[in-house]
Amino acid sequence: MTSTTTQPPSLRPPQQTPPGLRGVVVSDTAIGDVLGSEGRYHYRGRSAVDLARAVSFDEAAALVLDGELPDDGGAGLRGELAAHRTLPPAVATVLPTVAAAGARFDALAGLRAALCVLAEADGLAPTWGATPTRRRDDALRVVAVTPTVLAALWRRRQGREPVEPRDDLHGGAAWLWALHGVEPDPVAAAAVESYLVATIDHGFNASTFTARVAASAGTDVASAVVAAIGTFVGPLHGGAPDRALEALDEIGTADRIEPYVRAKLAAGDRIMGFGHAVYRTADPRAVLLREVAEGIGGPLVELAGQTQDRTEALLAEHRPGRELRVNVEFWAGVVMDLAGIPREMFTPTFAVSRVVGWCAHVLEQTQSSTIIRPAARYVASPREQMGL
């Protein structure tokens, strides 16, 4: 009888994987999924776009964090977050310095610094060994302080004091109040609310996966979110709604759309706001946000609609058979501009909602006791291959 010896998994040569782990399943999740070929995504089995049309940000956040759509309109989670949003003195003290640092204002860099201080000031526990209640409490703390910190940094950069949060405002209205300190316009607040709900989670994108890798090591929730933010701010990931809006500024009028796009295509340049790594159909978030923008109307919306339609036609002509459609960045910039959010706070507004998804994934990852530790395939240098 012939016997065979099976190598233990740790000694087997790593299998070939596609660049960027594209399409490789690395974990199970009950939080949500992105079905790119179908042009849809969901939270806990519920269409995220439908949720954005129907529920508040607090309701959607409760669904993503706790697994069920609450029957109290999100009031329970809203109350928990309100109890967590006051900054500890150590964080409040460093914000003026952080806000003034650097020639270029970067709210997300400031948020990373603030969350590091928060973890120390609050004594956030490593998730490894902590109770589920403690881990969830720390996650709510990070979710609650994120908009507080971001708005405070922006206002201090403008030479203004942060405003006190109002218990009667939530979601989009609360965010606009934190930024501007004036009564939010209901239409603008509703538009921002739709955007926030639609961007809570979006599968195992790079920042979410980073958060889960950090959480698998048992670190505290704030540190895992800081790792996610560090990935999120990379120009290939975090989105560029401000740059998409700058493209509309450059186009200016409908008669300039085609020359602008053709020049970009001829130069091989990326057209901001078009194309997506997952969707091969229309980005459902862009479809939603176009509806939101058209509900408000105005010259910018009209130009944006014409630009989308003509650009998609030109892309189809230039690259037949390859679906390149408008993505969330394009209409997100339009919606946020209509709502009065300053351009340097477009991507931070994204983080106000996505921090909920990051924290949900951190909490889910803590249910596993296995650290994420993939293998690499070593490639010898030419010198080694020659035996030198």
Name the residues annotated as catalytic: 276, 329
Q: How many CB atoms lie within 10 A of CB 313?
A: 12
Q: What Cα–Cα distance (Å) separates residue 343 from each residue in 1, 214, 259, 301, 350? A: 73, 30, 26, 17, 12
Whether the CB-CB separation of 307 and 248 falls below 8 Å is answered with yes
Nearest-angstrom CA–CA distance, 155 and 144 = 18
In angstroms, the CA 297 to CA 187 distance is 11
The amino acid at 276 = H
Residue pair 339/191 in contact by the 8 Å Cβ criterion:
yes
Rg from Cα positions in the chain: 22
Distance in angstroms (rounded) separating the CA atoms of residues 119 and 116: 5
Give the whole-angstrom CA distance, residue 345 versus residue 244. Answer: 14
Strand partners, 5: none
Q: Which residues are CB-contacts of 240 (< 8 A; sequence separation ≥ 6)? A: 272, 273, 329, 347
Neighbouring C-beta atoms of residue 310, cutoff 10 Å: 16
Q: Please give the C-alpha separations between residue 234 and each of 101, 227, 229, in angstroms, as whole numbers.
A: 20, 12, 9
Structure tokens at 47: 């269409």
Whole-number Å distance between alpha carbons of 241 and 273: 7
* String of DSSP letters for 269-283: ---TTB--SS-SS--
Token pair recorded at residue 371: 């650290």
What three-state secondary structure class fits 274? strand
Q: CA dist 184 to 34, 77, 193, 290, Å?
A: 33, 22, 12, 21
Write the CB contacts of 82 (distance below 8 Å, at least 6 apart in sequence).
Answer: 144, 165, 167
- Crossing angle of helices 107-122 and 221-232, in 10° steps, is 170
